[in-house]
Amino acid sequence: MKALFSLVAVVILILLAWFGSGSSGGAYLFGVILPYAAITLFVLGVVYRVLKWARSPVPFRIPTSCGQQKSLPWIKNSNLDNPHSLVGVVARMALEVLCFRSLFRNTKAEVKDGPRLVYGSDKFLWLGALAFHWSFLIILLRHYRFFTEPVPGFIMGIESLDGLMQIGVPPLLITNIAVTGALLYLWARRFTNPQVRIISLIADHFPLVLLLGVVTSGVCMRYFFKVDLPAVKQLAMGLISLNPVVPAGIGSIFFIHLFLVSVLLAYFPASKLMHMAGIFLSPTRNLANSNRRVRHINPWNYPVKVHTYEEYEDEFRDVMKAAGLPVEKE
């Protein structure tokens, strides 16, 4: 039901762009106004959420320690899995961000006949996530050919590496296959695995379907319903240089693609996709385990008003003397 809702929502978005972009006013709406609105929402939304997270105090170091802590010199410590210094933290974060190291440790629990509970390693989620994220990054970088003039050499390098297999014209790109396959796997996983299925919400299905829509419309545009690319670049460069023009004769498949990307950008800050920024702000990953070696002072400690004995005696000396109590100073 949740999956169906997401699917229907994306189909409606596609139909909106398809029929909406037909007139010249519609083309301006879907080609200029909505992309501008979407990118504004994206940037402001991401900055807002990061600043909101930054207001949360981190009074104590809470890294997940997966190895021996640094302590006495003859005990071998684990620098990556229990970092004690900035270098260790940077290395741990880099492996986490670039290689999804914690996902690599993903396990699954299964009840086998017996009944016996069996834990096993499950690398497919890691593989699917890695394939999706890296392909998506390469695809994003490839799109810079629409936003730069002259196109930098490394962008062309990426594209020619991507088309290495030289299958067909225009060349089949490896990332197109990888990203579609990975997204289909990640979505299928939410149906086939009962535990994952029951905890999947619309907020889990919708981004996957939306991304599938973006990827499918892009693939269709490259291989099947081709559009006038120089005209598309004119539009993109106009948007970038704040001088937007909508050249005539761009096929509606382009507006479908652009609208889905706009929806993705606008939806991004409000969704789980914010893990893009969140991964850098994960206290269980980005803190060095220095709880025992360094004194950490709670940032919300307020100054405690102290009344010392000397002050107390100054205040009550006369009364104390009168009552016959001993005092330290006469």
Partner 1 sequence: MYDAGKIIVGLVIFLLLITAPVWYNAASGQASYAPHLEIVTDAKACVAPTDYMRTSHMELLNTWRDEVVRHGEREYTAFDGTVYEKSLSNTCMGCHSNKAEFCDRCHDYMAVGRPYCWDCHVEPKGGSQ
Which residues of the shown chain bind partner 1 in the complex (CB under 8 A)?
Answer: 39, 43, 46-47, 50-51, 54-58, 144-145, 147-152, 155-156, 159-160, 163, 166, 168-170, 226-230, 233-234, 237, 240-241, 243, 249, 277, 280-281, 299
H runs (alpha helix) in 268-328: 275-278, 283-286, 309-322
Residue closer to partner 1 by CB (options 48, 312) is: 48
Pull the structure tokens for residue 135: 């392909």
Phi, psi dihedral angles at 74 (to 5 degrees): -90, 0
> How is residue 242 annotated by DSSP?
T
Of 130, 154, 159, 157, nearest in space to 142 by CA: 159
Query: What is the C-alpha separation between 250 and 22, in angstroms, rounded?
Result: 10
**Residues 6 or more apart from 318 whose CB is under 8 A from it?**
none
Please, what is the minimum distance in Å from the beta carbon of residue 273 to partner 1?
Answer: 14
Residue closer to partner 1 by CB (options 94, 201) is: 94
3-class SS at 110? strand
CA atoms within 13 A of residue 1's CA, in its CB half-sphere:
2
Residue closer to partner 1 by CB (options 148, 290) is: 148
Residue closer to partner 1 by CB (options 98, 240) is: 240
Residue closer to partner 1 by CB (options 234, 271) is: 234
Can you list the pairs that 1-8 forms with residues at least 24 positions away whose Cβ atoms lie under 8 Å? Answer: 2/200, 2/201, 2/202, 2/204, 2/205, 3/187, 3/190, 3/191, 3/200, 3/205, 3/209, 5/202, 5/205, 5/206, 6/202, 6/205, 6/206, 6/208, 6/209, 6/210, 7/205, 7/209
3-class SS at 152? coil
Pull the structure tokens for residue 12: 């409606």
How far is residue 199 CA from its own chain's centroid?
Answer: 20
Please, what is the minimum distance in Å from the beta carbon of residue 160 to partner 1?
Answer: 5
Residue closer to partner 1 by CB (options 190, 285) is: 285
Please, what is the minimum distance in Å from the beta carbon of residue 94 to partner 1?
Answer: 14
Please, what is the minimum distance in Å from the beta carbon of residue 52 to partner 1?
Answer: 10
Spatial contact of 46 and 269, defined as CB atoms under 8 Å apart: yes
Please, what is the minimum distance in Å from the beta carbon of residue 235 to partner 1?
Answer: 12
Residue closer to partner 1 by CB (options 108, 143) is: 143
Please, what is the minimum distance in Å from the beta carbon of residue 155 to partner 1?
Answer: 6
Query: What is the C-alpha separation between 213 and 7, in angstroms, rounded?
Result: 9
Query: What is the C-alpha separation between 223 and 227, in angstroms, rounded?
Result: 10
Please, what is the minimum distance in Å from the beta carbon of residue 306 to partner 1?
Answer: 27
Residue closer to partner 1 by CB (options 127, 155) is: 155
Please, what is the minimum distance in Å from the beta carbon of residue 231 to partner 1?
Answer: 8
Residue closer to partner 1 by CB (options 54, 109) is: 54
